[in-house]
Amino acid sequence: MPLQTHATEDTVTETSAVAQRVDSFSHDQLLRCARGELFGPGNAQLPLPPMLMFDRITHISDHGGQFGRGEIRAELDVRPDLWFFGCHFEGDPVMPGCLGLDAMWQLVGFYLGWIGGPGRGRALGADEVKFGGEVTPAARLVSYHIHMKRVIQRKLFMGIADATVAVDGNPIYTASGLRVGLFTNTFESAP
């Protein structure tokens, strides 16, 4: 059975497969993941800020979602001083769409670590991405919803998911066929 984790306000420890999985993560816990302290050395990590593109995971489950195979919900609090607004674009600040896409990949990789997958995460692609809106400094909240379609556990440990991004409750991005792999040797070539 995959390794599971138990998190409290201040600590995250590995426990047996019979322990209950945590179903939400605070910003401090996400920073622990970014430092490699959540899933163990050599396993899935989130990027550190400013590339960490969400402030909390409000729900994660290995069932549910559109396909019944797991889902993740996460949120980013929008503030006018977020780093990308100052440079993209001067006089017309907007969050780059590629950062929303990266957030979706980050969340799929986090899911793979959360279910006990070994190795470091790498984005492998997406079948389709559509942008139908934007995040501006006037927004308050970006919400991510990841629907796991499949997890492959062979030589390559890979997750495939569809996702939506909403700003203040209105969907603005969709992605299908998001692929993230975990690699025990990060110099391995992707399939």
What is the predicted pLDDT for the residue at 187? 59
Using H for helix, E for strand and C for coil, what is the string for the chain?
A: CCCEEEECCCCEEEECCCCCCCCCECHHHHHHHHCCCCCCCCCCCCCCCCCCCCCEEEEEECCCCCCCCCEEEEEEECCCCCHHHHCCCCCCCCCCHHHHHHHHHHHHHHHHHHCCCCCEEEEEECCEEEECCCCCCCCCEEEEEEEEEEEEECCCEEEEEEEEEEECCEEEEEEEEEEEEEECCCCCCCC
Please report whether residue 27 resides in a domain.
yes
What is the predicted pLDDT for the residue at 21? 81
What is the predicted pLDDT for the residue at 155? 87
Please report whether residue 189 resides in a domain.
no
- Which residues does the annotation mark as catalytic? 88
Which residue range is the domain that position 133 belongs to?
Answer: 4-183
pLDDT tens digits, one per residue of 22-56: 999 999 999 999 999 999 999 999 999 999 999 99
Q: State which residues of the chain have pLDDT below 70.
A: 1-20, 186-191
Domain count along the chain: 1
What is the predicted pLDDT for the residue at 20? 53
What is the predicted pLDDT for the residue at 92? 98
Look up the CATH number of the domain holding residue 158: 3.10.129.10
